[in-house]
C-alpha cells in the first residue's frame, strides 16, 4: 500500500473536498426548508451556546444566523411576555430530564410583528467527554393558530350576534361557581327575553329580526362590565352572568338594560321598531353546584315578568 506523504496529502484533500460538498448540499437543503434548524450545547454553568443556525432565522425571527450564533439570548428576548415563564419552566424541565422539548409560543419581532412559532429540540447521544449537542427546529405556525382560533370562536360564539353561545356561557358559569365557593362572594344571572319578537319577524321579515338581535346584543353589552358574560341562550333569549354582584346590584343592572332597550325604537331601513324585554334575575346560592337549578330560577322569574305585563324585571 502506498502511504507516502504525497498520497496521504491527496487523500486528505479528497476528504476535505467531499466534506465541503456535503456541507454545501446541506446548506442548500436547509435554505429550501421553511424552518430554522439549529444545534447548541449547554455548558456546565447551564448556559447555551449555539453551534449552528440555518439561514431561515432571518425570515422567521428577523435574526441573522451569525447573530444567533453569537448570542442565543436574542431569541429569549423575542418570546411574548405572557409565554416566557411557561417557556423557561418547560426548558428547565426538559434539560433536567433530558427529554424532547416542544412548545408553541408567541414571539414579538423587532418590527413589532407577532408570530406563533413551534419550537422543538432533542438531546443527541454524547460522544466521549464532549458536551452533548441538542438539535432543534423552529417553524412558523401563525396560519395554523389563526385557523384554530377561528374554529374556537365558531364553536363558542353565536355567528349572528358575536356573543358567546350556551357552551361558552356554561364554561364561564363553572369557573364562577369555583370562584364563588373560594371567595364567598355573590354572583347573579339574568335571563332576558324579547317581548313579542315573533311579531317583528312577521311584520318586517327575518332580516329585520336578525338586525334587532344584533342591535340588542350591542345595547346589552354597552350596559355591562368587562367581567360580565353575556350569551345568546337561544332564539330571542339572552343569558348574562354577573360575577361578584349582589341581588340589589343585579336588579339595578337588569333595570338599566330594560330601560335602555325600551327608551328608543330601533331604526331599520326607515322603520321604527319598538323593542322591549322581560328579565328574570336570580343569585347563586351556597348549594348551587350545577347550572340547571340556577337557570330554572331565572326562568321562573322571567315567566313572572311576562305574566305581569312584560317589559319588566322580576327576581326569584
Rounded-to-5 percentages of helix, strand, coil across the chain: 50, 25, 30
- Is 236 an annotated catalytic residue? yes
Q: Give the residue among 298, 225, 236, 241 at the shortest CA–CA distance from 261.
A: 236
Can you tell me the distance from the alpha carbon of 107 to that of 62, in angstroms, rounded to the nearest whole number?
Answer: 11
Give the Cα separation of 133 and 117 in Å (integer): 22
Angle subtended by helix axes 247-263 and 206-222, to nearest 10: 140
DSSP label at residue 102:
E
The three cell numbers locating residue 124: 443527541
CA distance linking residue 99 with residue 312, whole number of Å: 62
Please choose, from the candidates 211, 197, 214, the residue with its C-alpha nearest in 3D space to the C-alpha of residue 162. Answer: 214
Using CA atoms of 310, 316, 234, 157 in order, give the dihedral in degrees to the nearest 10: 120
Q: Where are the alpha helices (DSSP H) in 157-244?
A: 166-183, 197-204, 206-222
Contact call for residues 90 and 101 (beta carbons, < 8 A): yes
DSSP secondary structure letter of residue 69: H
Centre a 10 Å sphere on the Cβ of residue 148 and count the other Cβ atoms it contains.
13
Torsion of CA 9, 10, 11, 16, to 10 degrees: 90
Active site residue: 6, 24, 89, 236, which one? 236
Those residues whose C-beta lies under 8 Å from the C-beta of residue 316, and which sit 6 or more positions away, are 280, 281, 282, 297, 298, 300, 301, 304
Give catalytic residue positions.
236
Amino acid at each position: 500500500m502506498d502511504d507516502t506523504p504525497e498520497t496521504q496529502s491527496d487523500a486528505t484533500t479528497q476528504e476535505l473536498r467531499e466534506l465541503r460538498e456535503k456541507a454545501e448540499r446541506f446548506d442548500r437543503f436547509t435554505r429550501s426548508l421553511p424552518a430554522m434548524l439549529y444545534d447548541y450545547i449547554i455548558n456546565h454553568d447551564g448556559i447555551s451556546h449555539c453551534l449552528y443556525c440555518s439561514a431561515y432565522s432571518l425570515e422567521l425571527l428577523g435574526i441573522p444566523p451569525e447573530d444567533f450564533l453569537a448570542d442565543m439570548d436574542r431569541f429569549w428576548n423575542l418570546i411574548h411576555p405572557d409565554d416566557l415563564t411557561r417557556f423557561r419552566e418547560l426548558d428547565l424541565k426538559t434539560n433536567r430530564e433530558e427529554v424532547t422539548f416542544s412548545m408553541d409560543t408567541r414571539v414579538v419581532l423587532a418590527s413589532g410583528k407577532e408570530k406563533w412559532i413551534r419550537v422543538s429540540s432533542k438531546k443527541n447521544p454524547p460522544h466521549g467527554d464532549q458536551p452533548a449537542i441538542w438539535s432543534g427546529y423552529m417553524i412558523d405556525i401563525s396560519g395554523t393558530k389563526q385557523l384554530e382560533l377561528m374554529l374556537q370562536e365558531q364553536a363558542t360564539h353565536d355567528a349572528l350576534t358575536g356573543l358567546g353561545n350556551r357552551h361558552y356561557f356554561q364554561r364561564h358559569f363553572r369557573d364562577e361557581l369555583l370562584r364563588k365557593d373560594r371567595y364567598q362572594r355573590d354572583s347573579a344571572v339574568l335571563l332576558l327575553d324579547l317581548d313579542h319578537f315573533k311579531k317583528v319577524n312577521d311584520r318586517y321579515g327575518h332580516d329585520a329580526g336578525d338586525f334587532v338581535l344584533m342591535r340588542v346584543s350591542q345595547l346589552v353589552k354597552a350596559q355591562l362590565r368587562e367581567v360580565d358574560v353575556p350569551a345568546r341562550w337561544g332564539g330571542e333569549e339572552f343569558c348574562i352572568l354577573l360575577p361578584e354582584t349582589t341581588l340589589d346590584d343585579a336588579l339595578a343592572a337588569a333595570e338599566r338594560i330594560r330601560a335602555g332597550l325600551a327608551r328608543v325604537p330601533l331604526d331599520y331601513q326607515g322603520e321604527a321598531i319598538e323593542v322591549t324585554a322581560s328579565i328574570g334575575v336570580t343569585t347563586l346560592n351556597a348549594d348551587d353546584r350545577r347550572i340547571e337549578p340556577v337557570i330554572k330560577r331565572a326562568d321562573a322569574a322571567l315567566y313572572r315578568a311576562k305574566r305581569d305585563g312584560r317589559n319588566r324585571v322580576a327576581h326569584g
